[in-house]
């Protein structure tokens, strides 16, 4: 069976994106992300800082975010990150602060899971799951954060190695330095692709094949690579923050999170379409189309049949 062209897959993904009301889902994700981003980054930086030091990890994160959302927004986020990271006084304050930090960091991941469950039409949570289900979800989200922190450690190590090679090759021909820049871009693109693959594979309560996940993650990474320039151009040209004064940086963050959420959800819809069109779930479509169609009985026919049975049952009594 031949695969549909990429244009058809994109059209179907856009249709599914519209039918699932992704614009509303993205607004909810952006709202939760606004409160979760600083605690989330703090945990990731703390994990990566165990290997390379806090300043190096924080600098790497800010550098990546500067390329995505602009220097001003990244600087505002860095200031917010430092304000959150101030230690509390006393053991009780430290414990409460840590718990609130974990709850705040995992909030947006729970919202992402609900959105992905809706896209993949995952079964509803069992009734009565309550607190245990909530705790499992938070622990799973915390594990996701730790996985992203590990990926950041790997990215830091590779970037340090490339930086050392670049300095060592300072007197070499420029082509060698250009090659290292290409390798650095490829590693950064791979880091983003792996992060999306982990999210698409682990977060939904549905079984998804790795092949489908990698296709969708690569597509989403391409969307982010192209979309970050468009989002940055829109934020810079539209003057989003000009009318909000001191809150302008927060508004810019919110706008960036909203459009990033839309790209993430569009990538998830593309993954779903690919899996059902030419991926691991293609057989489900074939089974559905091959299933026999039962005749539909109209309500009027059922009512007429019931009346006839009632008349037949009352006929002996009338004769008496």
Residue 252 predicted with pLDDT over 90: no
- Residue 141, pLDDT score: 61
- Closest among 236, 293, 228, 312 to 264, alpha carbons compared: 228
- Closest among 79, 76, 78 to 248, alpha carbons compared: 76
Q: Could you tell me the pLDDT band of residue 119, with boundaries at 50, 70 and 90?
A: very high
- Residue 68, pLDDT score: 59
> Which region among 63-67, 117-121, 241-245, 270-274 has the lowest average model confidence (pLDDT)?
241-245
Give the mean pLDDT of 95-111.
Answer: 69
- Residue 89, pLDDT score: 52
pLDDT digits (tens, 9 = 90+) for 284-304: 754 444 444 444 444 455 456
Share of the chain above pLDDT 70, in %: 51
Q: CA 217 to CA 151: how far, in whole Å? A: 15
Q: Which residues contact 269 (CB under 8 A, 6 or more apart)?
A: 13, 14, 16, 17, 20, 22, 119
Q: Could you tell me the pLDDT band of residue 155, with boundaries at 50, 70 and 90?
A: low
Residue 36: which H helix or E strand, with range?
helix 22-52
Helices marked H in 172-209: 174-202
Give the mean pLDDT of 149-164.
Answer: 60
Specify the 3-state DSSP secondary structure of 254: helix
pTM of the model: 0.71
Give the mean pLDDT of 42-56.
Answer: 72
Give the mean pLDDT of 208-213.
Answer: 91
- Residue 289, pLDDT score: 43
2-6, 24-28, 155-159: which is most confident: 24-28
Q: CA 230 to CA 188: how far, in whole Å? A: 19
> Which region among 113-117, 125-129, 250-254, 268-272 has the lowest average model confidence (pLDDT)?
125-129
pLDDT digits (tens, 9 = 90+) for 178-196: 777 777 778 778 888 888 8
pLDDT digits (tens, 9 = 90+) for 62-97: 776 666 566 666 666 777 666 666 555 555 555 666
Residue 12 predicted with pLDDT over 90: yes
């Amino acid at each position: 069976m031949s695969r549909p062209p990429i244009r058809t897959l994109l059209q179907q993904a856009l249709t599914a994106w519209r039918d699932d009301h992704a614009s509303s889902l993205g607004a909810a994700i952006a709202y939760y992300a606004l409160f979760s981003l600083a605690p989330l980054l703090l945990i990731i930086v703390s994990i990566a800082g165990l290997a390379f030091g806090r300043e190096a990890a924080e600098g790497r994160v800010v550098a990546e975010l500067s390329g995505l959302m602009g220097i001003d927004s990244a600087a505002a986020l860095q200031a917010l990150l430092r304000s959150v990271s101030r230690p509390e006084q006393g053991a009780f304050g430290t414990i409460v602060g840590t718990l609130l930090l974990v709850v705040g960091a995992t909030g947006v991941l729970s919202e992402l899971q609900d959105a992905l469950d809706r896209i993949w039409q995952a079964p509803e949570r069992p009734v009565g799951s309550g607190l245990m289900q909530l705790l499992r979800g938070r622990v799973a989200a915390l594990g996701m954060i730790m996985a992203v922190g590990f990926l950041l450690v790997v990215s830091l190590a590779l970037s340090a190695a490339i930086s050392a090679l670049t300095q060592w090759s300072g007197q070499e021909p420029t082509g060698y330095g250009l090659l290292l820049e290409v390798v650095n871009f490829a590693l950064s693109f791979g880091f983003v692709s792996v992060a999306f693959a982990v999210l698409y594979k682990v977060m939904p309560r549905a079984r998804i094949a790795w092949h489908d996940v990698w296709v969708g993650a690569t597509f989403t990474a391409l969307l982010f690579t192209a979309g970050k320039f468009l989002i940055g151009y829109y934020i810079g040209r539209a003057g989003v923050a000009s009318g909000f004064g001191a809150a302008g940086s927060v508004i810019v963050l919110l706008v960036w999170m909203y459009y990033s959420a839309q790209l993430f959800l569009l990538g998830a819809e593309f993954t779903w379409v690919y899996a059902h069109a030419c991926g691991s779930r293609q057989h489900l479509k074939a089974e559905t189309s091959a299933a026999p169609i039962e005749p539909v009985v109209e309500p009027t026919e059922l009512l007429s049949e019931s009346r006839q049975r009632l008349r037949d049952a009352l006929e002996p009594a009338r004769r008496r």
